[in-house]
Chain A
Amino acid sequence: MKTKIIENIVKILIPLIQVFGIYVILFGHISPGGGFAGGSILGSSIILFRFVYGSEHTDKKYPYKYLMRTVSIALIMYGSLKGMLFILDHFGIDKIIPVGVPNTFLSGGSIIPLNIMIGLVVTITFYFIAILFEEGELEYEHASE
C-alpha cells in the first residue's frame, strides 16, 4: 500500500514514535519502561517505514550490513560491561560503579548504558523478525554486495 496520504502521515508519525521509544529507553531505570520496551517501540517505527516505503528504499537507508554490525557491537559491549561487573563483584570491588538515586536521571550507574545496548539489540532484532516473516529472507546477498 503506497499512497501519498500514507507516506505523508508516516513521515510525521515516525519521528514521534522514535522519540517516544528513545524516551522509554533512557528513563527505563527511574520510571516504567526499559531497553526491551523502548527497543520494541523503535523497532516498530522501522518496520512501519519499511511497509510504507518499500523494501528497496529501506534497504538503502538501513543496510543489512550496518544493522548486523550494530547488533554485534551492542552485544559485545553489553556482554563485556555486565561481565566486567560480575567479575569486579567477585573480587569485591563493585564500589567503582555507583548505586543510583531515585528520580535523578544520570544516577543509575551501569543501568543506562546497559539499557541502551538492549534497546539497540531489540530494535534490530524485531525489525529482522518482521522482515523474515513478511518476506521470507533477510536482504542477504544484495546488501553484502
Chain B
Amino acid sequence: MSQLIQLFPLLSILILLIFGAFLTPLLKRKKIILKLHIAINSLVTALSFITLFYVAKFGPFVFQIGHYPAPFGIVFKIGPIESSIGLMFSFVMTMVMWYSIFSLEKEIKEKRVSFFYILNSLLLASLLGIVYTSDIFNGYVFLEVSTLAACGIIIVKDKKENIKAAIKYLLLSSLGSGLVLMGIAFIYSISGHLNMTYIHGEIIAAASDKTNLLLISLILFTIGLGIKSAMFPMHVWLPDAHTNAPSPSSAILSSLVIKAPVVFLIKIYYLVYGIEFISNSNVFELLLIFGGFGMIMGSLFARRQKILKRLIAYSSVAQMGYIFLGIGLGNELGLTIAIYHMIAHGLTKSSLFLSAGSFIEQTGFKNIEDFKGIGKEMPVTLGIFTLSALSLIGIPVLPGFISKWNLALASIESGKIYLLAIILISSLLNAVYYFPIIINGYFGEDNLDGKVFRSKSKPIKELIPVIILSLVMVAVGFLSGSVINFIKSGISIM
C-alpha cells in the first residue's frame, strides 16, 4: 500500500500530461472536455491530499524514476513542504477550472477553450514537477515547460495587448531560464552531478578553493529565478501579463506560476549549496533588500493604478516581497513563514482575481472608479473580495495576518528590528489601496445612488468555487498553528 502511495506524485503528473494535455485535442464536444478536465484535476487534488496525509504520518520519502538509482536516475523527494505546496497548487487549479466553466467563453473565443484547458494541464504538470523534483536539470526542463504554457494562457485571449504582454513575458522569462541554465552549467562543471544531494556533497568539498565560481552560480540562480517569480526590480513583466490575461489565467498566473520558481530557489539554497555556504555569502542580504523594496514599492505602485486588475497585479509584487523577505531572514521561522505565505497568498490572490473578474464580467467596466456602489449590485462577490483584501491587509485570524505577525517575530529573532518598520508600512499601504474599493463599493450616498440591489450579481452556483477558495483561506488562517508546525517539520529535515 505504501509503495502505491509513493507512486502518486509521478502518477499525478502522468495523468495530467496523458489525459489532460494529449487526449484533449482528440475530443470534439466541449462538454466532455470540461468534465474530463474537472475530473482529472479533482483526481490530482485527491492524490496530493493522500500524499500529504502519508507524509504527515510516515515522514518524507524518496521516489526513484528512470530505472537507475540516484546519481544517474531522477529522484523525487517528497517532504512536508513539497506535499503541502503540491496540494495547494492542484486545489487552486481545480477551483479556477470550476469557475472558468461558467465565465471563460465570455472572455475568449469558443475555438480556444479546449486550448486553454490543454495548456492548464501542461502548466499544472510542470509546476508539480518543479516542486517535487530533486534533480536540478529536471527542474530546469519543467521550468521551461511552465514558461511556455504560461505564455499560452496569457495569449489565449487573442487581443493586441495580450500578444504584447506575452512577448514581454516570454523574453524576460527566457532570459531568466537562460541564467538558470548557465548556473546549472557552472555547478555541473564543479560537481559533475545533477542530483541535488550529490551536488551538495561535491560543493562542500570544493567550497574553499572555488568560492568565486560558486558565488557567481548562486547569483545566476537568484536573479534567474527572481525574474520568473517577479522579485521586485525584475517584476516589469508581471503587471501587463496579469492585467491582460483572462481572469482565470490571471488567478493561475499569480497564485501558482510565480510560486513554483521560489520553491525551486529554496531547494537550490538549502539542498544544493547548504546553509553554511549561503550564510557566509551575502545573498540573503540581497534578498532582504529586494524583498523589502518590493513590499514598499509594489504597494506604492499599486496605489497609483486606475485599473482594478492592474492594482491586484502590483499587490502580487508586494506579496512576493514578503516571501523573499522571509527567505532572506535566513532563520527557520523566516523560511517557514515564506512557505506558509506562499500557500496563504496563493489561496487569497486567486479568490481576489476571480471576484475581480466577475465584477468586470458583469459590469463591463475596468477602472476602479466605475466600481463605486458595486456592493449593492453584487454584495456576495464584493464580500469575497473584502475577505481576501482584509487577509492581505493583515486583519487577525486571516492568513495574511499570521504571516505578517510571524514575519515580525522572525525579524526580531534575527536581530534586524528595522524590518518591523518595513512590514508595518507595507501593511498600512495595503490598507490604503484596498479600503477605498471596499468602502466606495458598500457605502456612500452618492455611490449607491441609482443602484438596484443584486441587479448584476452572478448566480450563486457560479460563485461556489470562489466561496470554497475563500473558506479554505480562512481555514488556513484558523489552523495556522498546525500548518506552520507541519512546514517546520519539513524544514528541519531539509
Question: Is the pairing of A and B real?
Answer: yes
CB <8 Å contact, A76 and B23: yes
**In the complex, per-residue mask of A78-92: 1 if CB is within 8 Å of any chain B CB, else 0:** 011001011101110
- Using Cβ atoms and an 8 Å threshold, which residues of chain B touch A75? 18, 21-22
A72-B23, A72-B25 in contact; A83/B3 too (CB < 8 A)? no
**In the complex, per-residue mask of B11-27: 1 if CB is within 8 Å of any chain A CB, else 0:** 10010011001110110
- Using Cβ atoms and an 8 Å threshold, which residues of chain A touch B23? 72, 76
CB <8 Å contact, B22 and A86: no
- Using Cβ atoms and an 8 Å threshold, which residues of chain A touch B3? 90-91
Q: Does B66 interact with chain A (Cβ within 8 Å)?
A: yes
> Residue on A with the closest CB to B23?
A76
Q: Does B7 interact with chain A (Cβ within 8 Å)?
A: yes
| Residues 418-451 of B contacting A (Cβ, < 8 Å) | none
Q: Does A69 interact with chain B (Cβ within 8 Å)?
A: yes
- Complex partner residue of A76 from B6, B10, B18, B64, CB under 8 angstroms: B18
CB <8 Å contact, A79 and B25: no
- Complex partner residue of A87 from B7, B25, B64, CB under 8 angstroms: B7
- Using Cβ atoms and an 8 Å threshold, which residues of chain B touch A48? none
- Complex partner residue of B66 from A68, A83, A86, CB under 8 angstroms: A86
- Using Cβ atoms and an 8 Å threshold, which residues of chain B touch A79? 14, 17-18, 22
Main secondary structure of the interface of A (DSSP, over half): helix
| Residues 175-222 of B contacting A (Cβ, < 8 Å) | none
- Using Cβ atoms and an 8 Å threshold, which residues of chain A touch B66? 86
Residue among B3, B17, B18, B65 with most chain A CB within 10 A: B18
A79-B14, A80-B18, A83-B14 in contact; A90/B6 too (CB < 8 A)? yes
**In the complex, per-residue mask of A117-140: 1 if CB is within 8 Å of any chain B CB, else 0:** 000000000000000000000001
Q: Does A73 interact with chain B (Cβ within 8 Å)?
A: yes
Residue among B10, B14, B64 with most chain A CB within 10 A: B14
A80 to chain B, nearest CB (A): 6
- Complex partner residue of B22 from A72, A87, A90, A140, CB under 8 angstroms: A72
A23 to chain B, nearest CB (A): 27
- Complex partner residue of B67 from A72, A76, A94, A140, CB under 8 angstroms: A94
Report the bound CA distance from A73 to B66 in whole Å. Answer: 23
- Using Cβ atoms and an 8 Å threshold, which residues of chain B touch A86? 10, 14, 65-66
A108 to chain B, nearest CB (A): 14
> Residue on A with the closest CB to B10?
A86
CB <8 Å contact, A73 and B17: no
| Residues 50-69 of A contacting B (Cβ, < 8 Å) | 68-69
B311 to chain A, nearest CB (A): 36
Report the bound CA distance from A75 to B24 in whole Å. Answer: 11
> Residue on B with the closest CB to A88?
B67
Q: Does B142 interact with chain A (Cβ within 8 Å)?
A: no
Q: Does B63 interact with chain A (Cβ within 8 Å)?
A: yes
- Complex partner residue of B26 from A72, A83, A140, CB under 8 angstroms: A72
A83-B14, A90-B7 in contact; A76/B22 too (CB < 8 A)? yes
A110 to chain B, nearest CB (A): 11
- Using Cβ atoms and an 8 Å threshold, which residues of chain B touch A71? 25
| Residues 22-63 of B contacting A (Cβ, < 8 Å) | 22-23, 25-26, 63
**In the complex, per-residue mask of B117-152: 1 if CB is within 8 Å of any chain A CB, else 0:** 000000000000000000000000000000000000
- Using Cβ atoms and an 8 Å threshold, which residues of chain B touch A80? 18
> Residue on A with the closest CB to B13?
A83
Residue among A69, A75, A85, A91 with most chain B CB within 10 A: A75
- Using Cβ atoms and an 8 Å threshold, which residues of chain A touch B7? 87, 90
Report the bound CA distance from A52 to B22 in whole Å. Answer: 32
A120 to chain B, nearest CB (A): 13
Report the bound CA distance from A54 to B138 in whole Å. Answer: 41
Report the bound CA distance from A89 to B68 in whole Å. Answer: 9
> Residue on A with the closest CB to B74?
A86
**In the complex, per-residue mask of A20-60: 1 if CB is within 8 Å of any chain B CB, else 0:** 00000000000000000000000000000000000000000
> Residue on B with the closest CB to A69?
B26
CB <8 Å contact, B22 and A89: no
Cβ contacts A to B, 14 pairs, < 8 Å: A72-B26, A79-B17, A79-B18, A80-B18, A83-B10, A83-B14, A86-B10, A87-B7, A90-B3, A90-B6, A90-B10, A90-B63, A94-B67, A140-B111
A residues with a Cβ closer than 8 A to B are: 68-69, 71-73, 75-76, 79-80, 83, 85-87, 89-91, 94, 140
10 new A-B contacts at CB < 8 Å, known A76-B18, A86-B65, A91-B3: A68-B25, A72-B26, A75-B21, A76-B22, A79-B14, A79-B22, A80-B18, A86-B10, A87-B7, A89-B67
